[in-house]
Amino acid sequence: MKKIVIFASGSGTNAQNIVRHFNNSSKSHQFHIFSNNTNAKVLEKAQKLSVPTKIISKDDLYSDILLNYLNEIQPDLIVLAGFLLKFPTNCIEAFPNKIINIHPALLPKYGGKGMYGMHVHRAVVENKDSETGITIHYVNENYDEGNIIFQESIFLTGTESPEDVADKIHELEQTYFPMIIEKILNQKS
């Protein structure tokens, strides 16, 4: 049984999609969802999917408390799916090449501190980019600088609003994120 810990700060649509993808698999998976936001919709979605959750305060995140939780679970993979805080170095060191993130742009473009969600999509539109996409990458100690695992791009017409770009990126995330997670887990078998 593969153990997957998902970190999310917001609506949880990617987390929900990942859990549903694996629930439809013939293999057994165990999920845990962690959030730093007590009001995050991901917590409601997790409850409906019968996935255990844990709220992690910023203090817990940057102390040994989170590391202790993860050591108890011993996850095969840690997935950041809309997690807005920098992941702690002690956890990155304890789980090398076991922490991945999805970014709503083609890194290295539009990466770094503060570049998430609509901030990225507005930048893409303001810069009149002809393409954008998603990047799935390993997490290291710097925002959005870990080794790239997968990228998928879409072309833009130049007439899209940031909201239109967000919708297109969301479709890519929903399609590819679970598949790439499954591929990584199969390589670790």
pLDDT tens per residue, range 136-181: 999 999 999 999 999 999 999 999 999 999 999 999 999 999 999 9
pLDDT tens per residue, range 109-135: 999 999 999 999 999 999 999 999 999
pLDDT at 189: 64
Per-residue H/E/C for 59-84: HHHCCHHHHHHHHHHCCCEEEECCCC
Phi, psi at residue 184, to the nearest 5°?
A: -65, -45
Residue 103 designated active-site? yes
- b/e for 146-179, b at 16 or more Cβ within 10 A? beebbbeeeebeeebebeebbebbeebbeebbbe
User: What is the percent of the chain with per-residue pLDDT over 90, rounded to a whole number?
Assistant: 94
**Active-site residue, selected from the candidate residues 29, 103, 121, 137:** 103
pTM of the model: 0.96
